[in-house]
A and B are shown apart, each in its own frame.
Chain A
Amino acid sequence: MSTQLNAPVNLENIAALSQGRGEPGWLTDLRREAAALAGTLEWPKPEKMRIDRWNLTALGEHRAPQLAGDLKQLPEEIRASLPQDAANLVVQRNSGVCYRNLAEEWKAKGVIFTDLETAAREHGELVRKHLFRTVEAGEDRLTALHAALWNGGVFVYVPKNVELDVPLQAVFYLDDPEAAFAPHILIVADANSRVSYVDRVLASGAGRTAEAVHHSVVEIVAGPGAHVRFASIHHLPEGVVDLSIRRATLGNDARIEWIIGDLNHGNTLSVTKSDLKGNGSSSDSKLITVGTGSQNMSITTHAVHYGIGSESEMESRAVMRDSATAIINGVTKIEKGASKANGHQTERVLMLSPKARGDANPILLIDEDDVKADHAASVGRVNEEQIYYLMSRGIDRELAERLIIRGFLTPTVGEVPIEAVRGELERMIEGKLDA
């Protein structure tokens, strides 16, 4: 099988690496089985986008950093993007974690927040119970490769009834063009707990000119009544392909809030899905993307309703420049039995260039009668009447356009509940618009 995989993935390598990291036997087996599967499976096939034509071979070699005792050892660029309050923080550099910290206060309450490699060693049973259950290794070549190759990552466990009132934060960065960069994020929120998690994915130094693949999978398990807020901003450079699969499984009355900023400069596959298994569960997603250069993006938000009275809300906005292409999919699926379910989705695309392409694909799949579901989608250009109006007040064309573009994104960005994330999003959006 290994011959069908992209170098340097092969079975011996994977097993040896796993053992070398002191991973439990079950995990080594999981990796080995996934690697074998990968060769037999196809790449995912999103609507209207051939990701198999992207450069997906540069999966890199395992390059794990030293664990730093102090944030000062991180590159200046990374430190600048860190939160002021770094008390609850995991930082991954290339193939492994280089910094981790959780305030004693939360440790005492039984919260676990560490890298996933460490968690697999120290909390084996808990990790084993949830790892690759929400997203399965055998779904397609991407999930299988990721299951075989993931590194570093994050594990969050919040015990029953524990409410974290500060966000847990993570930063993943690539500064070695040869490194494998494949974090796996597993968040388990037990019954009636509350947690916010925020991460950023970026490159620094030599990573900025890397030709590489970042593949990541996020699995979130929200137990009954749990409330999870997940915010993620991806800001990878042009040469890095970003393949990111995010999925949450929700128990009764559980809630997930997704805030996704797909602000990469390279090709991007982004799939964010909520499985609304529990009665009364709810999901809210807000997604922002800005397409620039010649990048291709396939961006999907997805809600599947199983539970009675489950609710989903999705809002995606894309601004498209240059000759970038984005296919923005919104899928609301209501399964038989999910009576009283309510799904609402909006995709809006603003085109800034005649060479850019932006498709909004709203899809409603409904197998139950007693439900509510609707969608709104639009693809439009900057309105010349509006430009004229602003210019007639002395504002130059460039700023007039910028105000209108910001205005287009504001209704979504402005709703982002964590102020620091909102600021970061705004900064990166401006960066992409200025480029």
Chain B
Amino acid sequence: MATRFTVKGLRVSVEGKEILKGIDLDIRGGEIHAIMGPNGTGKSTLASALMGHPKYEVTAGEALLDGENLLEMEVDERARAGLFLAMQYPSEISGVTNADFLRSAINARRGEGNEISLIKFIRQLESKMKELEMDPELAHRYLNEGFSGGEKKRNEILQMMMLEPKIVILDEVDSGLDIDALKIVAKGVNSMRSEDRGFLIITHYQRLLNYIRPDYVHVMMQGRIVKSGGPELAERLEAEGYDWVKEELGIIDETVGQA
């Protein structure tokens, strides 16, 4: 069955304050959706709420991945169901090596008795790290600890490549990357494009979308998707900014918290 991810009427609050005010999305396997929008409009909140971050309270709506409601699952179950979020600010975990962590994550989805062999794991890890032009040393360092901004982002992409999820959300994976790194990360993402995998890419810059060509572009303001279009929408936003969208929709303050 082809992958299908549908978000319907998603409302999310943080500490009693409503941030997302009804989000609808429909992503099919093979598609790439981009979400753009000014700072503080709820993009990361959407990503975190879908992943199940404990701070974000879903007050209405559903998120179906191949018919299963993710919102009823624990964070780890969502991941095992096929959701992956490359985070804007990945955690650092001391004492746990990157390689050990990745192997635990792979085995968690393979289940007991079906663990990946060490040799196979190492072979995969080495080849993906090479693709991402990562220093092999990073496999043996503690997870994200002392990684540079760019190394952390590549490490998120590495995890995506190793875990082979069905739905990938990338939250500002391009921020903090130099132009070469951006190309490498984009190459990694493109290598993962497939009929049974959908992407939701949160970004501020058209630049990334030059390398990862989206099928749909959505604009987020005030905790809603206020405009959707094709790749040309991203190009126009890059060239002209958001004022014309606001004008068109009669929005004065685009951040959330405004009615």
A397 touching B76 by the CB < 8 A rule? Answer: yes
Q: Does A106 contact B (CB under 8 A)?
A: no
Given A404-B93, A407-B142, A408-B95, the answer on whether A395 and B87 have CB atoms closer than 8 Å is no
Identify which of A146-154, A327-335, A386-394 touches chain B: A386-394
Chain B: CB-nearest residue to A400: B76
B54 touching A388 by the CB < 8 A rule? Answer: yes
A426 to chain B minimum Cβ distance, whole angstroms, is 12
List, in ascending order, chain B residues with CB within 8 A of A397's CB.
Answer: 74, 76
A403 touching B94 by the CB < 8 A rule? Answer: no
**Chain A residues numbered 50-68 whose CB sits less than 8 Å from any CB in chain B:** none
Q: Does A411 contact B (CB under 8 A)?
A: yes
* Alpha-carbon gap, A399 to B96, bound state (A): 12
B76 touching A389 by the CB < 8 A rule? Answer: no
* Alpha-carbon gap, A391 to B85, bound state (A): 11
Q: Does B173 contact A (CB under 8 A)?
A: no
List, in ascending order, chain A residues with CB within 8 A of B87's CB.
Answer: 389, 392
Given A388-B54, A404-B93, the answer on whether A394 and B101 have CB atoms closer than 8 Å is no
Chain A: CB-nearest residue to B159: A393
**Chain A residues numbered 377-421 whose CB sits less than 8 Å from any CB in chain B:** 383-386, 388-397, 399-400, 403-404, 406-411
**Chain A residues numbered 76-91 whose CB sits less than 8 Å from any CB in chain B:** none
B95 to chain A minimum Cβ distance, whole angstroms, is 3
* Alpha-carbon gap, A411 to B145, bound state (A): 13
Q: Does B109 contact A (CB under 8 A)?
A: yes
A403 touching B54 by the CB < 8 A rule? Answer: no
Contact digits for B74-86, partner A, Cβ 8 Å, 1 yes 0 no = 1110111000110
B201 to chain A minimum Cβ distance, whole angstroms, is 17
List, in ascending order, chain A residues with CB within 8 A of B74's CB.
Answer: 391, 396-397
A396 touching B94 by the CB < 8 A rule? Answer: no
A-B CB contacts (within 8 Å), total count: 79
Chain A: CB-nearest residue to B83: A392
B96 touching A403 by the CB < 8 A rule? Answer: yes
Tell me how many residues of A have a C-beta within 8 Å of chain B: 24
List, in ascending order, chain A residues with CB within 8 A of B96's CB.
Answer: 403-404, 406-407, 410
* Alpha-carbon gap, A100 to B31, bound state (A): 72
A407 touching B108 by the CB < 8 A rule? Answer: no
Given A392-B79, A394-B79, A395-B76, the answer on whether A411 and B95 have CB atoms closer than 8 Å is yes
A395 touching B94 by the CB < 8 A rule? Answer: no
List, in ascending order, chain A residues with CB within 8 A of B219's CB.
Answer: none
Q: Which of B51, B76, B93, B159 contacts A403 (CB 8 A)?
A: B93
Q: Which of A394, A396, A407 contacts B93 (CB 8 A)?
A: A407
* Range for the number of chain B residues in contact with chain A: 20 to 34
* Alpha-carbon gap, A390 to B96, bound state (A): 11
A393 touching B94 by the CB < 8 A rule? Answer: no
Chain B: CB-nearest residue to A395: B108
Q: Does B99 contact A (CB under 8 A)?
A: no
A351 to chain B minimum Cβ distance, whole angstroms, is 16
B105 touching A393 by the CB < 8 A rule? Answer: yes
Most buried by B among A391, A393, A399, A400: A393
B51 touching A392 by the CB < 8 A rule? Answer: yes
A408 touching B94 by the CB < 8 A rule? Answer: yes
List, in ascending order, chain A residues with CB within 8 A of B84's CB.
Answer: 392
B76 touching A391 by the CB < 8 A rule? Answer: yes
* Alpha-carbon gap, A132 to B190, bound state (A): 72
B14 to chain A minimum Cβ distance, whole angstroms, is 14
* Alpha-carbon gap, A433 to B122, bound state (A): 29
A403 touching B85 by the CB < 8 A rule? Answer: no
A390 touching B93 by the CB < 8 A rule? Answer: yes
Given A388-B75, A389-B87, A399-B108, the answer on whether A394 and B163 have CB atoms closer than 8 Å is yes
Chain B: CB-nearest residue to A414: B95
B248 to chain A minimum Cβ distance, whole angstroms, is 36
Contact digits for B90-104, partner A, Cβ 8 Å, 1 yes 0 no = 110111100011001
A389 touching B54 by the CB < 8 A rule? Answer: no
List, in ascending order, chain B residues with CB within 8 A of A386's CB.
Answer: 91, 93
List, in ascending order, chain B residues with CB within 8 A of A385's CB.
Answer: 91
List, in ascending order, chain B residues with CB within 8 A of A407's CB.
Answer: 93-96, 142
List, in ascending order, chain B residues with CB within 8 A of A399's CB.
Answer: 104, 108
Contact digits for A250-264, partner B, Cβ 8 Å, 1 yes 0 no = 000000000000000
Chain A: CB-nearest residue to B76: A391
B54 touching A395 by the CB < 8 A rule? Answer: no
* Alpha-carbon gap, A6 to B43, bound state (A): 71
List, in ascending order, chain B residues with CB within 8 A of A388's CB.
Answer: 52-54, 75, 91
B95 touching A410 by the CB < 8 A rule? Answer: yes
B163 touching A393 by the CB < 8 A rule? Answer: yes
List, in ascending order, chain A residues with CB within 8 A of B54's CB.
Answer: 384, 388
List, in ascending order, chain B residues with CB within 8 A of A406's CB.
Answer: 95-96
List, in ascending order, chain B residues with CB within 8 A of A393's CB.
Answer: 79, 101, 105, 108, 159, 163
* Alpha-carbon gap, A403 to B142, bound state (A): 12
* Alpha-carbon gap, A386 to B144, bound state (A): 11
List, in ascending order, chain B residues with CB within 8 A of A392's CB.
Answer: 51-52, 75-76, 78-79, 84-85, 87
* Alpha-carbon gap, A406 to B76, bound state (A): 20
List, in ascending order, chain A residues with CB within 8 A of B101's CB.
Answer: 390, 393, 403
A24 to chain B minimum Cβ distance, whole angstroms, is 51
List, in ascending order, chain A residues with CB within 8 A of B52's CB.
Answer: 388, 391-392
Q: Which 5 A-B pairs have the closest CB atoms?
A: A407-B95, A410-B95, A394-B79, A389-B91, A393-B105
> What are 14 contact pairs spanning A and B, CB under 8 A?
A385-B91, A386-B91, A391-B79, A392-B76, A392-B84, A393-B79, A395-B105, A395-B108, A399-B104, A406-B96, A407-B93, A407-B96, A408-B94, A410-B95
Which B residues are within 8 Å of any A CB, using their own CB?
51-54, 74-76, 78-80, 84-85, 87, 90-91, 93-96, 100-101, 104-105, 108-109, 142, 159, 163
